[in-house]
Structure 1
């Protein structure tokens, strides 16, 4: 381990701990899709100018939502594991995709080429501790690693916002 790594905090066994999340989807009408898992339901749709009803996020917006949600959850877990003190996190995220890929143009991928994230963390922790947190969050976030494995260029800015004195 380097000075920036922390030991696995859940299980450190030689056997895999597999999970099997499942979702279901059904077309409601046109491009409106109802998605569900466990006791949760949400919708995915397209804007009206693309033939949808704009009642929910697009599939690509949903992917970005999964990314920032995962980053936030993993950050909390890593912060707890290392005793990192923070009072808030805000993430802005923008993806760039060439829609020609989704239209079938050969050689153009139908998913994001780049994703830019700005993470604003309210903390009084030292820069070295912020770097420890950042490195471990980015290493452990399943959704970020999926994006990186798909060769999506990830541009991530970690900014600290001073914690207000109590």
Structure 2
């Protein structure tokens, strides 16, 4: 192997854009174009106005959303049927990093997710979908590549049998 990555064919590349503006306060208004406006802010206790989630909370939300999308695509490919996913998430940061201590990462130290899959499928089938989902999820892999300790726990919650139309 030559160690050189082959060029990515143009039809596999995707480009997404947004614009954002901050008026000098902690709040940032993000225009997602066709998807509308979003706001990030800091809590009042941290100098913000509590107008929206903190940027790091937004990243945690993006992780949940990305896991959901990736799980859906993967489950369809693997013929795994489920009713829904439920997420509980948390993160820790060491605030010394954002206060200027360059020996401390200013981003997540840890991220924890508990993902409940409501399904009538077997644990073995679920395990295969989970393995593939975690390998494919862009946001999860971005965090892992940044050195964040990511602890995702999946649990199966029995659901109603899925009716298959003959």
TM-score (norm 1): 0.87
**Structure 1 regions of 5+ residues with no counterpart?**
1-13
The answer to whether 1:36 aligns with 2:31 is yes
Q: 1:22 aligns with which of 13, 17, 22?
A: 17
Give the secondary structure class of the aligned counterpart of 2:51: coil
TM-score (norm 2): 0.87
Q: 1:129 aligns with which of 125, 128, 134?
A: 125
Paired residue for 2:114?
118
Paired residue for 2:148?
152
- CA distance in 1: counterparts of 2:153 and 2:45, whole angstroms: 32
- CA distance in 2: counterparts of 1:22 and 1:76, whole angstroms: 24
Q: 2:79 aligns with which of 80, 83, 92?
A: 83
* Cα drift, residue 29 of structure 1: 5.7
The structure 1 segments of at least 4 consecutive aligned residues displaced by more than 4 Å after TM superposition are: none
The answer to whether 1:56 aligns with 2:52 is yes
Q: Which has the higher strand share?
A: 1
- CA distance in 2: counterparts of 1:106 and 1:26, whole angstroms: 27
Alignment size in residue pairs: 154
- CA distance in 1: counterparts of 2:63 and 2:52, whole angstroms: 17
Q: Structure 1 pair 165/125, CA: closer, same or farther in 2 (3 Å)?
A: closer
- CA distance in 1: counterparts of 2:151 and 2:122, whole angstroms: 22
* Cα drift, residue 28 of structure 1: 4.0
CA contact (8 A) 2:40 2:58 kept: yes
**Structure 2 regions of 5+ residues with no counterpart?**
1-7
- CA distance in 2: counterparts of 1:138 and 1:81, whole angstroms: 15
The answer to whether 1:104 aligns with 2:100 is yes
